[in-house]
């Protein structure tokens, strides 16, 4: 699971960079609405990148399992689809991109459910 720790750490670094880009690079270039959309993408990106690192630590405590790895992979997919679609929406203004955002949200929910079940089944 150390690979997930690394992916989470890289994800948080990318989240900081994207947050700075949104705050400084997009101001005056997109509407306030799209700045908010971009910020939402960054916020969920950061929550789940940090969460991925916590999942990696959990694996050290209870042991890695297929269910825990599935949860981690769903969190990664959620960041890509949920946050990625919001970034693209904010940058392009193409509303249709918002239609795929909920798929990423479902990936987040499913990922956390997998983590919860793995934690309940894991050895302390």
Domain ranges in the chain?
Answer: 2-121
pLDDT digits (tens, 9 = 90+) for 4-63: 999 999 999 999 999 999 999 998 999 999 999 999 999 999 999 999 999 999 999 999
- The C-alpha atoms of residue 45 and residue 24 are separated, in whole angstroms, by 18
What does the DSSP 8-state code read for residue 100?
A: T
Classify residue 8 by burial, with Cβ atoms within 10 Å: 0-12, 13-18, 19+: buried
Span 63-119, pLDDT tens digits: 999 999 999 999 999 999 999 999 999 999 999 999 999 999 999 999 999 999 999
| Bridge partners for 30 per DSSP | 27
Identify the DSSP state of 83: I
Helix axes 32-62, 66-78, angle to 10 degrees: 170
Q: Would you say 90 and 41 are in contact if contact means Cβ atoms under 8 Å apart?
A: yes
């Amino acid at each position: 699971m150390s690979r997930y720790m690394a992916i989470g750490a890289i994800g948080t670094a990318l989240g900081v960079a994207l947050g700075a880009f949104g705050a400084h690079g997009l101001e005056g270039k997109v509407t306030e609405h799209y700045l908010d959309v971009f910020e939402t993408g960054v916020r969920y990106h950061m929550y789940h990148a940090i969460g991925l690192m916590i999942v990696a630590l959990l694996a050290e405590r209870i042991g890695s399992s297929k269910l825990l790895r599935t949860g981690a992979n769903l969190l990664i997919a959620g960041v890509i689809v949920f946050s990625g679609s919001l970034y693209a929406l904010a940058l392009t203004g193409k509303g249709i991109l918002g239609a795929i955002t909920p798929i990423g949200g479902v990936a987040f929910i499913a990922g956390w459910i997998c983590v919860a079940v793995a934690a309940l089944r894991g050895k302390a």
